[in-house]
Amino acid sequence: MEIFLDTANIAEITEAGSWGVLSGVTTNPTLIAAEGKEFFPTIKEICAAVKGPVSAEVIATEAAGMVKEAVELAALATNVVVKIPLITEGLKAIHQLAGRGVATNATLIFSTNQALLAARAGASYVSPFVGRLDDVGHDGVELVAEIAEVFEQHSLRTRIIAGSVRHPLHVVQAARAGAHIATIPFAVLKKMVSHPLTDLGVARFIEDWKKAGLGPVLGG
């Protein structure tokens, strides 16, 4: 399963990229606004910082406007993927954009029916929102598993991005459920690295090294 970063923060993207684990980025107007930056220049900056797909979201709620915005976004860089909300107008836009060769990410997916329709319309990706479903008493990971089963059974090539990931366990569960990608906040990515037994092991190794007088510990 690939790891995407859900952010608009260039420093986070650069740092995660240096770990060798980052395959792409998802972002949206809310995340960009939180950084206090302009929308289109930020998308271009993110695309330059990442080799993989960068999902950027449209604002319009009717198909013609979505398509217009999508074409503008796709022109920013070759790795732009346009996020389209899964509503009726969104399906129309996804279908039209697929015909133009524009990659799309059907977002705000909360049911297998929505994911199936998006795939049939030509979406490159679908993004079921795991955490938001959990918030309202549903099993978000179970939805990912159900979508993965349906897509495999019917040989649908649309890729599944587990979104709205809240903690490291969501990442493991999404991987086991068959998600192709998990898009996660940087804070969650950092937690995935950490384990108290690893920290204890490193601390003990350094302590033993110093006691043995084997020389200085670089960085310590």
Residue 52: which domain range? 2-195
Separation of alpha carbons 56 and 31, rounded Å: 11
Tokens of 218: 């670089």
Whole-structure pTM value: 0.94
Does the residue 65 lie in any domain? yes
- Which residues, including other chains, have CB under 8 Å from residue 212's CB and lie 6 or more apart? none
Contact 139, 130 (CB under 8 A): no
Helix orientation angle between 63-74 and 88-99, rounded to the nearest 10 degrees: 40
Does the residue 75 lie in any domain? yes
Instruction: Spell out the per-residue pLDDT of the chain, length 220, in tens.
Output: 999 999 999 999 999 999 999 999 999 999 999 999 999 999 999 999 999 999 999 999 999 999 999 999 999 999 999 999 999 999 999 999 999 999 999 999 999 999 999 999 999 999 999 999 999 999 999 999 999 999 999 999 999 999 999 999 999 999 999 999 999 999 999 999 999 999 999 889 888 888 888 777 766 5
Tokens 């070759």 found at: 78
Active site residues: 83
Separation of alpha carbons 122 and 50, rounded Å: 24
pLDDT in the model for residue 123: 98
Domains held by the chain: number: 1
Does the residue 72 lie in any domain? yes
pLDDT in the model for residue 219: 64
Q: What is the CATH number of the domain that holds 72?
A: 3.20.20.70
Does the residue 38 lie in any domain? yes
pLDDT in the model for residue 214: 74
Does the residue 201 lie in any domain? no
pLDDT in the model for residue 213: 80
Contact 146, 117 (CB under 8 A): no
